[in-house]
Amino acid sequence: MSEDDRLNLTPEWRRHPKSWGHSFHPMCSYMAMFPARIPHYFIQKFTRRGDVALDPFCGRGTTPLQACAEGRVGIGVDLNPLAWLLTAAKVDAPDKDDLLFRVEDLQTDMFYGDIENEPPEIRMLFHDYTLSQLSYLKGALDRNDPRDRFLLATLTGILHGATAKDGRSSHFLSISMPNTFSMSPNYIRTYVEEHELRKVKTDVFDTLRWKIERLYRHGRPEIRGYAHLAGAQHLGDIPNRHLKRKEVKLVVSSPPYLKVVRYGLYNWIRLWLLGEDPERLDQTLDQHPKLDDYLLFMHRVCQQLYRVMLPGGVCALVIGDVKTPRDTIALNLAEAVWKFLKRRKTRFELAGIIEDELAENTKVTKIWGADKRGRATLVDRVLVLAKGPVEVVREHVTW
């Protein structure tokens, strides 16, 4: 009997559409994000109401949000300030009416400042009227206030995207461009000139109100969660009572692997709004282009995860296969991680590795073409680890 059979691990999440989940999930696109249906599968299978679910590389907060929406305590940890913002906004959301009152107050106090101090690569993206509003909000919003934090996070999601085909403004604020990631300034400049794109005058406050109504279709999550701006290697230092008490029942995460994604570069427009330096961020994040360094990093992370988890807890890590143009065979990175952990005498037990082959058109990198995708492939795998004997974990499976 295989390990997969012992816990009956199958990619049953495929039965749900990719867009399934709480209405806060699409607040802002994010590179290398996984759909909410994946953490939902593990939340329902391995936890009960009130249990704690953790994502140490939380990205846009998919795991902690879905946990909170399903009556669990969701915790998100990430070194990326954009990831922290999105996660914190979702798991500690304000009352909708309070949020709309705040928008009204901001619009009443609005002043149209000088946009000449904004970088030229930003000025080429937005109509002067729109950029004046954005520049005002950039200085007026306090990310320590839950209302302002939610508004700032919502703005990152509508900051740039495709314009409607009839040429009028869509529900995005920029010239027509991709929504998921930011193309380089030079590429955008050339594209604008070649296609004679024009900036559309769009009111930021009206667009914010529209987006808020969309996001609150399902209301606020049932349970309040937590977001921490920190590294996964330092979980023990985070001032969170659930982590300190080692109460984590489930981990569902997608660790950054072998520098497949440069989160700073691909989010430079959103990071402008947050006052963050994209280049410095890429130097800060836990990305290891060399396999040996990556495996050591994952070993240290798994040591931290083991320490904060309850006995019988489950850790599910979504890790894609990788391949360079010189490779003839893709590297099964999930299996490589497990073999390295085993050599290092990990106390985790292997519960299974689930293969999840992706459709060609679901990869964000499809826009770049096969020669520019880097090391990403169309195969993701979920490495499932158990704290304690798999037989003990199986006794607590909920379905």
pLDDT digits (tens, 9 = 90+) for 244-289: 999 999 999 999 877 667 888 899 999 999 999 999 998 888 667 7
Q: What was the pLDDT predicted at 206?
A: 96
pLDDT at 78 over 70: yes
CA angle 299–302–303, rounded 5-degree value: 85
Report domain extents, the chain: 3-92+220-395, 96-218
Per cent of the chain over pLDDT 70 is: 89
Confidence label for 169 from pLDDT (cuts 50, 70 and 90)? low
CA dihedral 9, 15, 17, 19 (to 10 degrees): -30
**pLDDT single digits (tens) 88-111:** 999 999 999 999 999 999 999 988
Helix 291-308 and helix 333-343, axial crossing angle in degrees, nearest 10? 70
In a 3-state reduction of DSSP, which class is residue 350?
Answer: strand
Query: What pTM was computed for the model?
Result: 0.91
**pLDDT single digits (tens) 305-346:** 999 999 999 999 999 898 866 777 889 999 999 999 999 999
Q: Beta strand pairing status for 52-55 and 73-78?
A: parallel
Q: Long-range contact list for 106-110, CB < 8 A, 24+ apart?
A: 106/137, 106/140, 106/141, 106/151, 106/205, 107/205, 109/140, 110/136, 110/205
**pLDDT single digits (tens) 106-150:** 999 988 778 999 999 999 999 999 999 999 999 999 999 999 999
In the Cβ-directed half-sphere of 360, how many Cα atoms lie within 13 Å?
Answer: 4
In a 3-state reduction of DSSP, which class is residue 79?
Answer: coil
Contact 96, 211 (CB under 8 A): no
Among the CATH numbers 1.20.140.10, 3.40.50.620, 3.40.50.150, 3.90.1150.10, which is that of 3-92+220-395?
Answer: 3.40.50.150
pLDDT at 4 over 70: no
Q: Beta strand pairing status for 348-357 and 226-229?
A: unpaired
Question: What is the DSSP-derived secondary structure letter of residue 331?
Answer: B
